[in-house]
Amino acid sequence: MKNIYNYTLQNLEDYFLEIGEKKFKAIQTFEWLYKKRVSDFEQMKNIKNDTIMKMKNDFSFNSIKIVTYKQGKDVYKFLFQLQDNNYVEAVLMLHDYGNSLCVSTQVGCNMGCAFCESGRLKKVRDLETYEMVCQILEIEKTLDIRISHVVLMGIGEPFDNYDNVIKFIKIINDGKGIDIGARHITVSTSGIVPKIEQFIKDGNQVNLAISLHAPNNEIRNKIMKINKAYDIEQLMSVIKKYIKETNRRVTFEYIMLDGVNDSKKCALELANLLKGINCYVNLIPYNETSHIEYKKSSEQSIKEFYDILKKNKINVTIRREFGRTVDAACGQLRANYEEG
């Protein structure tokens, strides 16, 4: 039986046409699911009984379950149990501009970034679209809040689960669906160049973020295996193409690792690499974990790095630190739960 939350509005229109119904039933169904938040076809009062019976035979409302969550200052970390007893996480950050949810896209991750907790636990499988959608629905229901921003930066590489991720974006962006604006949705990738090419071709209007974390191939090869497949030159080439064709700004994520990528020399190299590109850099203080040897850069190193980029006219911010008390490193809560 197929999960109803796997279906975009277009998918549902196609379904209703296939069963001999009018496609406007898709809009009605979407509004019941995402505006009124019902989880029982019998509650969809403006849809006739024989259509309800067909839908009950064809679809399930299977969801995911919040096993536990931790709360810190302006942050919640959720651990979800999936139908097959795998686990994923989501992190909710409360900002003055709204509530931002960082969702997972895979169970585990095969990118193998040396500093990343979720990369220690190898990829088991991709998440289905509904398992991403339900991260939002379950958290909104549990906390009685509205999530206004979504970032795909949790466990997994979103572009390694491209088709399900794109369907997820369509559902949450749809005005009849969860209705989160395209400018409030960000997809982060470690740099799978062919998928960025596909992303350009598909004409997606959401934000793109690149997990860069190094200004040159030598350092990036050591900390990010993906760079051996698609090096910085290839990555920057496709990013320039993306900016030219979409006229959108790109975010470069840069985790500050003590003694690895945080020197003044690295800052100057990064400034030269990004010169003239419509982008901004997000410097991220590293969330240390007990399983990984890397350490967070000192506040002074981060400040000096920031100043060099600023002086070289690179738009840069230092990400506010969230949730050091709630196992907020990506994959950390899941790892501690499964191993502990």
Active site annotation includes 102: no
In whole angstroms, give the CA distance from residue 136 to residue 151.
11
Catalytic position from the list 13, 89, 157, 253: 89
Catalytic position from the list 102, 116, 134, 330: 330
Contact 120, 339 (CB under 8 A): no
Active site annotation includes 330: yes
What is the token pair recorded at 95? 């900002």
DSSP letters, 100-125, are EEE---EES-SS--TT-SGGGS---E
What is the token pair recorded at 307? 């100043």
In whole angstroms, give the CA distance from residue 178 to residue 5.
11
Contact 159, 165 (CB under 8 A): yes
Instruction: Give, in degrees to the nearest 5, the angle at Cα 248 between 247 and 254.
Output: 140
Helices 299-311 and 264-274: crossing angle in degrees, nearest 10, is 30
What is the token pair recorded at 183? 């400018």
Contact 91, 102 (CB under 8 A): yes
The neighbour count for residue 200, using CB atoms within 10 Å, is 18
The catalytic site residues sit at 89, 330
